[in-house]
Amino acid sequence: MGIWAAFYNPDKRFQPHEDRSPEWNRGAYLVEALGHCGDCHTPRNLGQALDNRRKFAGTSFSGWRIYNITPDAVSGIGSWSDDELAEYLRSGHAAGHGSAGGPMAEEVAASSSNLTSGDLHAMATYLRSVPAIRTRDLPAVKTEPASDSPKLTQTAVDPRGREIFEGACASCHGWSGISLVTSSATLTGNRAVNDRSRMNVVQIILAGERTHTAEGLVLMPAFGDAYSDTEIAAVANYVTARFGAAPAQLTAKDVARLRQLSSN
């Protein structure tokens, strides 16, 4: 560990940058030191140290996709306002951008939800200043709602996906992707449904989510025991084809692999 630390972990305290504003320095301290956001959002190199050549460009672990938080306008947070970023870190939800799930939901509940508004806006200020990096397999999110009519969007989509969505999902998420129940259930604009990997969509279907919001407790039931891998692949493909911008086809083997990764 001593040799590893000599290469990758210099024993230095955070030092404010005199040429930056107090808000920027506060944000840098919260993001880099106290919040250690890079531990999740930055990929690792062969030595399992953070690969800062792709700082905050996103990665994956335990079956979850950890998204790009650089100011890239397509695959990162470049289209988010500072208020939207602060609200997402405070509540785990930002209107038009979706809700946190999995590890990020845990981080919000245990950490960033307890920060002040000034702290959250300082974090946004710092994140705006890091170099923008494009994640090539993440397209710009689809921001237009789908049709209110319950019909297939693509003939190639397994019809079982539509049947499962109609029976288990539409009452909360809506056929258009705009939820009439709670804004936290709106799928339009959500990064996960525009992600070709479909990892986070599958994990949320498998494990569900419980989030405390200003509207009260928002509960997404877990369907991992209710449906087979084939059925979960079908509904994940349907959801992402209907509401997303990146068509792809998950298989039952893909879902089985994600089940295993999340249980490890």
By the 10 Å C-beta count (0-12 exposed, 13-18 middle, 19+ buried), 46 is classed as exposed
- State the average pLDDT over residues 42-49: 90
Both tokens assigned to 243: 């509401």
Is pLDDT above 70 for 213? no
Alpha-helical (H) ranges within the chain are: 2-8, 22-28, 38-41, 82-91, 102-110, 117-129, 159-168, 170-173, 199-207, 229-243, 252-263
Is pLDDT above 60 for 153? no
Is pLDDT above 60 for 116? yes
Split at pLDDT 50, 70, 90, the class of 264 is: low
Is pLDDT above 80 for 6? no
Predicted pLDDT at 152: 58
**Least confident range of 146-150, 199-203, 210-214, 246-250:** 210-214
Of 2 and 55, the structure prediction assigns the larger pLDDT to 55
Is pLDDT above 90 for 164? yes
Distance CA 51, CA 172 (A): 40
How many other CB atoms are found less than 10 A from the CB of residue 113? 14
- State the average pLDDT over residues 254-264: 88
**Least confident range of 51-60, 146-155, 200-209:** 146-155
Count of CA atoms in the C-beta half-sphere (13 A) of 99: 25
Is pLDDT above 60 for 184? yes
Is pLDDT above 70 for 156? no
Predicted pLDDT at 11: 74
pTM for the model stands at 0.89
Is pLDDT above 80 for 3? no
Predicted pLDDT at 154: 57
Beta bridge partners of 42: none
Q: What is the residue type of 135?
A: T
- State the average pLDDT over residues 200-212: 91
The per-residue pLDDT of the chain, averaged, comes to: 91
- State the average pLDDT over residues 163-186: 93
- State the average pLDDT over residues 1-5: 74
By the 10 Å C-beta count (0-12 exposed, 13-18 middle, 19+ buried), 51 is classed as middle
Is pLDDT above 60 for 48? yes
Distance CA 240, CA 205 (A): 13
Is pLDDT above 70 for 22? yes
Q: What is the residue type of 239?
A: V
**Which domains, and CATH codes, for the chain?**
2-129 (no CATH), 159-263 (1.10.760.10)
